[in-house]
């Protein structure tokens, strides 16, 4: 039994989900898990005697122009390391969380081990602001162990930072109890989708990198050949642009903007195909969530996406921006029931083998044992 502190951005998409689900599974295996975050992680919605939550409180002192979140976090980490006698501090993101963990370790009285998981966003930040390069590098080099969610991210990190640090690839996973296909004919009807219409789904935070416009353009071609509806799930900076494009392309009756949704597995259960046409994606957790609900995906040849989708088996890979190719694959799949069923089952099988939570949690546990 280990005592593990976990820090993530509790409200940020995939990385927050992975950190929380991992903590829950580790607690179920008998470890004591202490979340140290600015708010309750959004998936931490049930009680368990081995799960604890320590809130990083931010006081707004008039002398500080900006509230010192990073310092408040480091201070809280140091407090929890000592009080709870943590063995490991597992942080998600090198910046700022690994940096905070390093500082906390220096302040605390215990020799806690720091494990850092990279989700890709640090590297994206670097592409925009090089001033953080040395700090991110420091965070990675000073961690006792570093993991990344895809081989592509390991390579990208090494290329951009020029480091030799050994980074282990531990893929993402989903909670299989939550992500599985259910019979949801009523849900389909409630959304006004006819039984003979296919459902294409896109889920994201509508950031520019997600290229929601490409999803809509792809759908515009598909809908000329296949009776279908497009579900757009999520919200973010590109939301109104996306709405305008739908109106411009006269797709209003075929595209449903659902905003942020909690029970995504219910929506995946009525979906036939998932589109993720991002320009940056270190893994693409939403693709795995879809696969786990028997939904094949079409994704771009960027980052870790080709490590998740097996081309021509669990979906298709297209070049960035190639909406014609994406549409052609979608039409081929949606018009061939037999092939669609085969791809759906392949997707499920891959989700339950390569990315099974048992396998991933075992990999993290082995890594913890190695550093201790
Ligand atoms: O993609 C985002 O905007 C959110 C970000 C996050 O921190 O959750 O996602 C990153 O981590 C996910 C979990 O490992 C990955 O599935 C996403 O691919 C990755 N996003 C990018 O690399 C852009």
Q: How large is the ipTM? A: 0.98
User: Can you give the pLDDT of all 372 residues of the chain as single tens digits?
Assistant: 999 999 998 876 899 999 999 999 999 999 999 999 988 887 787 789 999 999 998 877 777 777 889 999 999 999 999 999 999 999 999 999 999 999 999 999 999 999 999 999 887 777 677 888 999 999 999 999 999 999 999 999 999 888 889 999 999 999 999 999 998 888 999 999 999 999 999 999 999 999 999 999 999 999 999 999 999 999 999 999 999 999 999 999 999 999 999 889 999 999 999 999 999 999 999 999 999 999 999 999 999 999 999 999 999 999 999 999 999 999 999 999 999 999 999 999 999 999 999 999 999 999 999 999
Sheet holding 3-7, edge to edge: 51-55, 32-37, 3-7, 88-92, 113-118, 145-148, 167-169
Residue showing tokens 């309750």: 40
- Token reading at 166: 């050994």
Q: Which tens digits make up the pLDDT trace of 165-208?
A: 999 999 999 999 999 999 888 899 999 999 999 999 999 999 99
Rounded to an integer, what distance in angstroms lies between the CA atom of residue 116 and that of residue 157? Answer: 13
- Token reading at 148: 């990344």
**Secondary structure letter of residue 63 according to DSSP:** T
Q: Which tens digits make up the pLDDT trace of 222-262?
A: 999 999 999 999 999 999 999 999 999 999 999 999 999 98
Rounded to an integer, what distance in angstroms lies between the CA atom of residue 39 and that of residue 15? Answer: 15
Q: What separation in Å is there between the alpha carbon of 275 and the centre of ligand 1?
A: 16
Q: Which residues line ligand 1 (CB under 6 A)?
A: 12-15, 18, 119-121, 124, 149, 172, 205, 207, 209, 280-285, 303
pLDDT of residue 61: 77
Distances (CA, A) of 58 to 9, 16, 55, 72, 102: 15, 20, 9, 7, 20
Looking at the CA of residue 283, tell me the nearest atom of ligand 1.
18
Buried b (16+ CB within 10 A) or exposed e, 11-30: ebbbbbbbbbbbbbbbbeee
Count the neighbouring beta carbons within 10 Å of the beta carbon of residue 160: 16
Rounded to an integer, what distance in angstroms lies between the CA atom of residue 308 and that of residue 282? Answer: 10
Centroid of chain to Cα 108: 31
Rounded to an integer, what distance in angstroms lies between the CA atom of residue 360 and that of residue 356? Answer: 6
Q: Tell me which of 15, 126, 153, 299 to substitute to probe ligand 1's pocket, judged by most ligand atoms within 8 Å of the beta carbon.
A: 15
Looking at the CA of residue 153, tell me the nearest atom of ligand 1.
22
Q: What separation in Å is there between the alpha carbon of 280 and the centre of ligand 1?
A: 9
pLDDT of residue 43: 76
Q: What separation in Å is there between the alpha carbon of 229 and the centre of ligand 1?
A: 26
Question: CB of 289 within 8 A of CB of 264?
Answer: yes
Question: CB of 307 within 8 A of CB of 271?
Answer: no
Residues in Cβ contact with 32 at an 8 Å cutoff, skipping those fewer than 6 apart: 1, 2, 3, 4, 50, 52, 84
- DSSP string for 133-168: HHHHHHHHHTSSEEEESSHHHHHHHHHHH-----EE
Residues in Cβ contact with 16 at an 8 Å cutoff, skipping those fewer than 6 apart: 8, 9, 10, 41, 42, 43, 92
Looking at the CA of residue 14, tell me the nearest atom of ligand 1.
8
Q: What separation in Å is there between the alpha carbon of 225 and the centre of ligand 1?
A: 33
Question: CB of 347 within 8 A of CB of 295?
Answer: yes
Environment class of 238 (CB within 10 Å of its CB; exposed 0-12, middle 13-18, buried 19+): buried
């Amino acid at each position: 039994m280990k005592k593990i502190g976990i820090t993530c951005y509790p409200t940020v998409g995939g990385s927050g989900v992975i950190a929380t689900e991992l903590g829950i599974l580790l607690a179920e295996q008998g470890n004591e898990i202490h979340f140290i975050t600015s708010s309750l992680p959004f998936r931490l919605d049930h009680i368990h005697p081995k799960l604890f939550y320590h809130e990083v409180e931010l006081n707004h002192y008039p002398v500080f122009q900006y509230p010192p979140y990073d310092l408040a976090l480091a201070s809280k980490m140091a407090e929890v390391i000592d009080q709870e006698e943590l063995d490991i501090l597992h942080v998600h993101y090198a910046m700022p969380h690994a940096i905070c963990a390093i500082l906390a370790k220096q302040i605390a009285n215990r020799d806690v081990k720091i494990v850092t998981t990279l989700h890709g966003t640090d590297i994206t930040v670097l592409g925009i602001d090089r001033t953080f390069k040395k700090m991110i590098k420091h965070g990675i080099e000073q961690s006792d162990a570093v993991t990344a969610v895809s081989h592509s991210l390991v390579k990208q990190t090494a290329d951009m930072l020029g480091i030799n640090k050994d980074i282990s690839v531990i893929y993402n996973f989903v909670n299989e109890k939550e992500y599985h296909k259910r019979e949801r004919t009523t849900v389909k009807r409630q959304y006004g989708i006819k039984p003979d219409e296919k459902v294409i789904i896109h889920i994201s935070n509508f950031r520019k990198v997600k290229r929601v416009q490409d999803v809509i353009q792809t759908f515009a071609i598909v809908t000329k050949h296949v009776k279908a509806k497009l579900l757009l799930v999520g919200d973010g900076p590109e939301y109104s642009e996306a709405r305008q494009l739908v109106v411009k392309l006269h797709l209003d009756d075929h595209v449903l903007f659902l905003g942020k949704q909690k029970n995504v597995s219910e929506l995946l259960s009525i979906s036939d195909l998932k589109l993720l046409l991002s320009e940056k994606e270190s893994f693409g957790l939403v693709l795995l969530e879809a696969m786990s609900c028997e939904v094949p995906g079409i994704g771009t040849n960027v980052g870790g996406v080709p490590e998740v989708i097996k081309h021509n088996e669990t979906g298709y890979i297209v070049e960035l921006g190639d909406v014609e190719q994406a549409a052609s694959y979608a039409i081929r799949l949606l018009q061939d029931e037999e092939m669609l069923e085969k791809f759906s089952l392949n997707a499920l099988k891959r989700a339950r083998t390569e990315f099974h939570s048992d396998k991933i949690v075992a990999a993290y546990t082995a890594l913890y044992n190695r550093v201790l």
